[in-house]
Each structure stands twice: as C-alpha cells, then as structure tokens.
C-alpha cells in the first residue's frame, strides 16, 4: 500500500470511519495521546489540532501555541465539527487499526499534498505525546525539536527528526483530485 492509498484510507470520509465528538463525555473518554481536528467549516482545509494530554487538551496546531489545560467539556463546541484523528487508547491506533503502519520515508513526505496532517513520534519518545505536522509549501509546520519551538521544518529534516510518521488526515479537495 503506497502513501497515497494510506492517506486516502486514513482520511476516509464514510460515516463509519469518521468519529465526531458530540459531547464532553466523548472527549473525556479519549485516552492521552488522542488527536482531534477542529474544523471551522465544512470546507476548512487547515483545521486546528488538539492533543489529549492528561486530564485536558493541548493545542498543537496552528503554530503550537502550547495552550494547555483545555477542559473536555469545551472541545465539542470549539468549531463547526470536531473529528477524532487518532484514538490513543490501549491499541494506540484508533480507527486506523486496519491500516498498514509503515513509516513514511523522505520521498513519501515530499509528495504529500498541502494541508496533510502527519502524526510524528520521535525515536524513544512516549507515543502518548506525539507531535503533529502540517504539510505546507517547502516542508512542514509544527514543533521543531532542534529549536523546541513552533516553526517551519524542512521535509528532509522531518524524516530525520521523527522515527514514526503516520498520515492521519488529507484535505478533501486533494482526495477528490487524486
């Protein structure tokens, strides 16, 4: 399965694959390491991303503001639609459990479409606290481990920084044209 097939499967749009957060209980039930996308509209191609961290949520994208301690009861109402990208439960794979979990190579990263979200875990890091990278022109936006700050990460550097890179969302417009 190539990265485009993985990306399409990971970003499935059928009702069975997409899990929306409707209530605070849904948000509270997700384990540490879970990722959700907060869409501002049906056509939002660059959603905000939150990480379940301990008893609350932390904003990861845009720009890794580091806003921590967002309560679960606030998450379902944060946008037009809130969707689970990654369930950090016991299997750490959520709705991606039927997917091939191959690490993306540098050449795979170069061909990812603009706006794609990638779950990134550094070697020896705790998978409950992944980083999230967004594909932008010239590389990725996300937390740069060298600077320990948000910023631009060149594509080749992203492949070196992180040992585990998994596509978790692809913009709908990209899927329709591929």
Instruction: List pLDDT tens digits, range 74-115.
Output: 999 999 999 999 888 755 443 333 333 445 666 678 889 999
- DSSP-derived 3-state class of residue 176: helix
Whole-angstrom Cα Rg for the chain: 15
| pLDDT category of residue 3 using cuts at 50, 70 and 90 | very low
Q: Specify if 67 maps to a domain.
A: yes
Encoding tokens for residue 64? Answer: 């890794």
Global pTM value: 0.76
Vertex 77 angle, CA 44 and 129, to 5°? 75
Q: How many structural domains is the chain composed of?
A: 1
Residue 177 lies in a domain: no
Give residue 16's domain range: 3-172
């Amino acid at each position: 399965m190539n990265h485009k097939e993985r990306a399409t499967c990971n970003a499935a749009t059928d009702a069975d694959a997409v899990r929306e957060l409707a209530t605070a209980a849904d948000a509270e039930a997700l384990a540490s390491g879970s990722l959700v996308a907060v869409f501002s509209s049906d056509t939002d191609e660059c959603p905000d991303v939150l990480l379940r961290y301990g008893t609350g949520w932390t904003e990861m994208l845009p720009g890794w503001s580091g806003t921590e301690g967002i309560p679960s009861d606030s998450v379902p109402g944060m946008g037009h639609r809130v969707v689970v990208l990654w369930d950090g439960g016991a299997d750490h794979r959520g709705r991606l459990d039927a997917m091939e979990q191959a690490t993306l190579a540098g050449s795979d990263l170069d061909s990812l479409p603009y706006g794609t979200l990638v779950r990134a875990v550094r070697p020896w890091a705790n998978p409950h606290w992944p980083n999230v990278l967004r594909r932008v022109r010239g590389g990725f936006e996300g937390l740069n481990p060298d600077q320990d700050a948000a910023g631009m990460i060149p594509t080749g550097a992203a492949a070196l920084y992180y040992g585990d890179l998994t596509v978790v969302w692809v913009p709908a417009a990209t899927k329709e044209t591929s």
